[in-house]
Amino acid sequence: MAAKYYTQFILTDESYLGRNEFSGVVELNQPLDDLQDRQDIEALLAKNFDLDRGNVQLVSWSRLH
């Protein structure tokens, strides 16, 4: 069952300086458990921007129902 999360995040890669704060909905194939949320969402966002996970700082996220 798919799960949607509203996210707000900052890209710290130097190519995004000045315009580096983003927000939006991320849809995953299945819900994440509480222990993995932050790292998994950062990794997914980084992959979508073709960056390393260390270049994404998740500010906030919440599951949409």
51 neighbors 11 (Cβ within 8 angstroms): yes
Lookup: tokens for 7: 């996210």
pLDDT at 27: 86
pLDDT at 35: 55
- Report the candidate in 61, 21, 29, 18 with the shortest Cα–Cα distance to residue 42: 61
Lookup: tokens for 57: 């700082």
2-59 confidence digits (pLDDT tens): 888 899 999 988 887 778 899 999 888 878 776 567 888 888 889 988 999 899 999 9
What structural domains and CATH numbers belong to the chain? 3-64 (3.10.20)
